[in-house]
Structure 1
Amino acid sequence: MKGTDSQPEIVEGCRLPVLLRNGDGWHMAEILGKKDLKGKNLYYIHYEDFNKRLDEWVTEERMDIAKLVQPSKEAKTPKKEGVKSGTESRPSSPEREVVSTPNGSAAPTTGNKKFSSSSRKRKGADDSEIDPLATPTSSRNNTPTLGLQQQNNVALNEDGSKKPRQTGSMVAHHDDIVTRMKNVEMIELGKYRIRPWYFSPYPQELTSLSIVYICEFCLKYVKSKKCLERHIQKCLLRYPPGNEIYRKGNISFFEIDGRKNKAYAQNLCLLAKLFLDHKTLYYDTDPFLFYVMCEQDCKGYHIVGYFSKEKESTEDYNVACILTLPPFQKKGFGKLLIEFSYELSKCEGKTGSPEKPLSDLGLLSYRSYWSQTILEILITMTPSEGNDRPVITINDISEMTSIKKEDVISTLQHLNLINYYKGQYIITLSHEQIDTQNKAMEKRKVRIDPKCLHWQPKDWSKRGKW
C-alpha cells in the first residue's frame, strides 16, 4: 500500500495499536508481513510484550492507522534471509507449556498481561532454550533433513579433535522476518486439528496448504487427507519405534535413539518446533535420546508429549527439550513428563536439571513440580531422635529427589521457606502452604510408579561413536 495524504504507508517494521482478538482493548504491535487476499490487505502482526504464539493476520479494520509509527532507520526490522527451495532460513526460537484455547488455537486473554513482561526474550547467546533442534538443510526432493552440514558447525580443539558441546541445544538466535512468522496454518494429528503457535521448517510446498496432515504413529507429514489415508494403510507402526520402558494403565513411555531412528526423531523435532519458540532445529539427532509418552487404546499408542536428553551432558542436564502437545495440556501430563525425567536420573544415581535458560512458562512448570516435590518431603518428615523438630539438609533433599542443589535452593527461596534463626538456617512452613500443597497433590491423579520402569542406564562414554 502506497502512502497517501490521508493514510501513511504500512510497511514491515511499522508499529501501531491493534484491537486484540477477544476485543479486550488495543495493544501496540509490530507489522511483520503483508499479503493480499481477494483484493483485501492482511497484515501479520506481533503484539509487543506478548508471546509470539499470539501473533496473527489482521485486517486494517482492527488497526489504529492514525497512530502508526514508522520504523526508525537506526533499528530496521531484520531483512528476510534468502529462502532456498524446500528450506526456510534459520528458524528463530522452550518450552513451552503454553495456554491453548479448546480448539488448539491461541488467543490473547487478560491473564496474558500478568506474564507478558517475562515473555520478552533476551537476545544473543542466552536465547538458547531447552531444545536439541537446529536448522535442517534442503535435500534434492525439497524435504527438510538434518545432518548435512554438521562439519561446518563442529567446534574443534587445537589438536583437531571435536570439542564436547556445552549444551544440548547448540542454538543460535536468528530473528529474521521469515522465521518470526507462523508458516503452517493447521495440522491434523490423529483425531485432533491443532493450530500451530510458531514457525517450523516444513517443506515450502506444504506451508501453502490450509492443513498439513501428520501420521500420529510415525509422524510422517503429507499434503492431503487422501495421501494420509493411503499412508496409514501401509504404515506398519502403531507405537513409537523404540523400546517401551514404562507402562502403567494406559500410559507408556518409549525410548528412541536419535541415531537408530533418525527419520522418526527428525519428524518429531519438526512437529515440536510448531509449539516451541526461540530455538532452531539441531542438525544432528545422533547425540540425543527421545522419551515419548503415549496413551494406549485399541487403535495403538497415541503421542501425548515427549522430552529429549543428551546421551552425554557435560552440565548434567537431564532434559534438553520438553513438550506436551496442546490437546493434552492442563491435564497433568507436563508434570508426569518432568517426574519421569527425574526417575531416570534416580536410576542413573545422578542429580539432574533441565537445560537453561527455561522459557517463562517452562520455568512455571518446573517450579511447580519442584515446589510440590520438595514440600511433599518436608510435610511428611518426622522429628529425628533427640530432636523435637525434623532435621534435613539441602543435600538430603537433592539426593532424595535427584533435583540439583541449585534448583532446590532457588525453589526454597521462591517459596520463602528459608529463614535465619539463632545462628542457623531453618525451614518454616505455614498452615496455608500445607493446605495449598495438599490440595495440589489431590489433583495429581496420575503419578510415575518406579516399579513399572524397566530401564538400565547406559555409559555412552564407553560406547565410542554413537
Structure 2
Amino acid sequence: MSKREPRKRAHDSTNEAAAPGGNDSEPPQQQIMPIINKRYMVEKFIINTVKKVVAVIIHIDFRKPPQEVRTNNYKSIENHEQGAKELMYYVHYEELDRRNDEWITLDKILVNEVVVEPVIKVPTKAPVEDLHKEIVVGPPVIKPSGALTRSQRRTLEEYSHLKTDLNDLDATTARLEREHEERTKVKNIPQITIGAHEILAWYYSPFPPDCENLDIYMCEYCLLYTPHHERFKQHIDTCKVRQPPGNEIYRKDHLSVYEVDGSGQKLYCQCLCLLSKLFMDHKTLYFDVDDFMFYVLCETDEHGAHIVGYFSREVESANNLACIMVFPPFQKKGYGKLLIQFSYELSRREGYIGMPEKPLSDLGKVSYRSYWWWRLMKLFHIHQGHTVTATFLSNESGIAVDDIVSTLITMRMCRQYKEPEFIPGEWYVRIHRKIVDHCVMCGYGKPPRLLLDRTKVRWAPAQTRPEFERQQQRTAAAMTSRRASKSQNVTPLVTPLATPPIEQKPEDTYTPSPLTDHHVATDAPDHISLPLN
C-alpha cells in the first residue's frame, strides 16, 4: 500500500519526501514586526499613484483605523471606544514635511525590503567663482544637491522651506526644539469640519482628552466645537452669531476684517488659537490671550462672515504681528499678503516701524519675503543709480532694518564699510540698474494679488507710540527729579490697610449658544465660566 502524499498549498513549497520526525510540512515563518525609530520602505498614495517612500516609525499603538474613527453621533463614538482596535504605526516620511505624518497599518510597511542608508557627505568649501555663479542666478535655480555653502543654505532656508539643522542652533534653542518635537510628534486630531470645509489636520493641537483621535466639528461663527455630529447640528440650528465678536475695521467688496480684544473675548480667541495650531507647527499661545489683539479676516455674504484667516499682535510690543494664519481651503488666494499689508498699516498709523515676531514659520517666511521684495523694488526703481542706507529704506517702506538686511543679503546687495566717510554700523545698499533688472528677471517684486485699500481702513490709535514714549519719559523724569520732603526723611507711620474693593467684571457681550462641554481644553484658566448643556 503506497504512502499518501501530503497535499501541497499553492503558496507553499514543500519537499516531496516527508521530513524526519513525522512532520509533513515546514513550520510557518515568524513575521518581522517594525521597530520604533527605524527606517522602512512604506507604500504611500500620492497623486493617484502608490509610491514607495522611506519612513521612520514614530509611535506604535492599538487604535481604530482612520476610516472608522470618523463618526456621525455621540452613540457611535461610544461604540468606537468599545470596539476592537488594530495595531497601527505612526510614521514620518523623510522627504515630506511633518504635516504629512499619519497612522498606517502593517500591510503598508514593506519590512523585508532593503532601505538604503543616507550618505553623509563631508562639507567642502566651494570656489569663489562657483559660489558667485550659483548665487547670482537667484534662489529658484539653486538645488540642494551635494554640500552647500552657508550662503546657499541660508537662501534655501529663506525661499525653499529647507529645515534648519539643529546642529546650527545654540544649545538652549536646540534643546527646546527637541522637546517641542517630542511633545507634538503625534497628531491627536484626524480632521476638523468648519463651515462647508472638511480639513485634515497638519499638526498636534492641545484639544481636551475627550476629543483626541476623533473628528472635530466647529462652528465657523462662534468657534465652539464638539466631537458629536448630532450635537453640532443642534447648535447650528440655534446659534444666532453671524460674525466675530469685535469691531469691523475694514470692508472692501466681500472681505471684512474684525478687531477682537483677547482680554474681552477670551473664549473666542482661545478656540481660534486651538484651531490655528492644527495647521501651525510652532505656536505657544493657547490660553493666555489677555495681552493680544486678534484681527480676523472674513468672506462675507448674505449668510454671515465666514472666517478665512487672522493675525494677532501683542499690545505695546515692538512687533506688529505675533502670529498669522490663513486656513488651508483659502490659501494661495492672496489673503496672507493682505493681512501682512494690514499689519504694517496699523503700525504706520501708530507711528512706529514694526516687524513680525521671530522665528517665522516656513509658509510665513515665504509670504513676508515676497512682500518685502515688493516694497523694496518699488523704492529701487525710484532711487536707481544711488547708494542709500538701510535706515532710509526703512523709513520709506516701514520695514525694519533687520528685515531689509536679511532680505537683501542673499543677493549681496547690502554691506557695511569701515572707511571714515561712512557711518559706523550702518548698512548701505547700492541700487545698480543691472542688479535691479536681474531681480526683476528672477521674479522678485511681484505685486500682491490683493492690495490693501488704505481709505477703507476705519481704525485710529487712541495714542501713538511716540506720544506714549514721551509720556513715559516725562513720568520717569518727574519721579527722579522730585525732592524729598521733611516727612520723607523720617520713617513714615504705618498706614492701616483698607479692605480692597471687590472687582466687578463687566458682563461679556459675546454670549454664544451652548454647544458642548468639550469646547475648551482642560488646562484652560479656571476663572473662565463656560456654558454647559
TM norm structure 2: 0.61
The separation in 1 between residues aligned to 2:170 and 2:44, in whole angstroms, is 26
Q: What is the aligned partner in structure 1 of residue 194 from structure 2?
A: 189
Q: What is the aligned partner in structure 1 of residue 399 from structure 2?
A: 403
Q: For residues 199 and 295 of structure 1, do their structure 2 counterparts lie closer, same or farther at Cα, with a shift above 3 Å needed?
A: same
Letter in 2 for 1:204: P
Q: For residues 328 and 51 of structure 1, do their structure 2 counterparts lie closer, same or farther at Cα, with a shift above 3 Å needed?
A: same
Whether the 8 Å contact between 2:408 and 2:414 is mirrored in structure 1 is: yes
Structure 1 residue runs of 5 or longer lacking an equivalent are: 70-110, 129-170, 384-388
Letter in 2 for 1:242: G
Shift of 1:117: 4.2
Q: What is the aligned partner in structure 1 of residue 151 from structure 2?
A: none
**3-state DSSP class of the match of 2:263?**
coil
The separation in 2 between residues aligned to 1:311 and 1:439, in whole angstroms, is 31
Shift of 1:370: 0.9
Aligned positions of 1:58-73 closer than 5 A: 58-66=104-112
Shift of 1:49: 5.9
Please identify the structure whose Cα radius of gyration is greater: 2
Correspondence 1:343 to 2:345: yes
The separation in 1 between residues aligned to 2:174 and 2:271, in whole angstroms, is 24
Q: For residues 329 and 374 of structure 1, do their structure 2 counterparts lie closer, same or farther at Cα, with a shift above 3 Å needed?
A: same
Letter in 1 for 2:41: P
Letter in 2 for 1:16: Y
The separation in 1 between residues aligned to 2:35 and 2:180, in whole angstroms, is 18
Shift of 1:257: 0.7
Correspondence 1:10 to 2:37: no
Q: What is the aligned partner in structure 2 of residue 55 from structure 1?
A: 101
Deviations 1:376-395 (A, max 9, x none): 2222x167xxxxx4564322
Correspondence 1:33 to 2:60: yes
Aligned positions of 1:295-310 closer than 5 A: 295-310=299-314
Shift of 1:448: 0.7
**3-state DSSP class of the match of 1:270?**
helix
How many residues are treated as equivalent by the alignment? Answer: 367
Farther off after superposition, 349-358 or 47-56: 47-56
Whether the 8 Å contact between 2:270 and 2:286 is mirrored in structure 1 is: no
Structure with higher helix content: 2
Out of 433, 441, 446, which is 1:440 matched to? 446
Deviations 1:233-285 (A, max 9, x none): 33232111011111111111111111000010011011011111133344411
**3-state DSSP class of the match of 2:45?**
coil
**3-state DSSP class of the match of 2:163?**
helix
Q: What is the aligned partner in structure 1 of residue 224 from structure 2?
A: 220
Deviations 1:132-169 (A, max 9, x none): xxxxxxxxxxxxxxxxxxxxxxxxxxxxxxxxxxxxxx
Shift of 1:115: 4.7
Q: What is the aligned partner in structure 1 of residue 361 from structure 2?
A: 359
Q: What is the aligned partner in structure 1 of residue 413 from structure 2?
A: 417
Q: For residues 24 and 191 of structure 1, do their structure 2 counterparts lie closer, same or farther at Cα, with a shift above 3 Å needed?
A: same
Q: For residues 49 and 301 of structure 1, do their structure 2 counterparts lie closer, same or farther at Cα, with a shift above 3 Å needed?
A: same
Letter in 1 for 2:208: P
Out of 296, 318, 321, which is 1:319 matched to? 321
The separation in 2 between residues aligned to 1:272 and 1:54, in whole angstroms, is 17
Whether the 8 Å contact between 2:207 and 2:274 is mirrored in structure 1 is: yes
Q: What is the aligned partner in structure 2 of residue 378 from structure 1?
A: 380
Shift of 1:6: 4.6
Farther off after superposition, 56-65 or 343-352: 56-65
The separation in 2 between residues aligned to 1:286 and 1:367, in whole angstroms, is 30
Q: What is the aligned partner in structure 2 of residue 293 from structure 1?
A: 297
Shift of 1:369: 1.3
The separation in 1 between residues aligned to 2:160 and 2:441, in whole angstroms, is 26
The separation in 1 between residues aligned to 2:309 and 2:110, in whole angstroms, is 40
Q: For residues 439 and 417 of structure 1, do their structure 2 counterparts lie closer, same or farther at Cα, with a shift above 3 Å needed?
A: closer
Shift of 1:419: 7.3
**3-state DSSP class of the match of 1:66?**
coil
Whether the 8 Å contact between 1:18 and 1:64 is mirrored in structure 2 is: yes
The separation in 1 between residues aligned to 2:171 and 2:339, in whole angstroms, is 29
Q: Once the two structures are aligned, what percentage of the paired residues are identical?
A: 38
Deviations 1:419-460 (A, max 9, x none): 799x8751233434235558832xx33211111111122459
What is the aligned-residue RMSD (CA, Å)? 3.6
The separation in 1 between residues aligned to 2:264 and 2:95, in whole angstroms, is 41
The separation in 1 between residues aligned to 2:229 and 2:295, in whole angstroms, is 28
Q: For residues 433 and 221 of structure 1, do their structure 2 counterparts lie closer, same or farther at Cα, with a shift above 3 Å needed?
A: same
The separation in 1 between residues aligned to 2:243 and 2:255, in whole angstroms, is 12
**3-state DSSP class of the match of 1:180?**
coil
Letter in 2 for 1:434: V
TM norm structure 1: 0.69
Letter in 1 for 2:324: I
Deviations 1:400-428 (A, max 9, x none): 2221101011111123434799x875123
Whether the 8 Å contact between 1:32 and 1:44 is mirrored in structure 2 is: yes
Whether the 8 Å contact between 1:50 and 1:120 is mirrored in structure 2 is: no
The separation in 1 between residues aligned to 2:173 and 2:355, in whole angstroms, is 17
**3-state DSSP class of the match of 1:369?**
helix
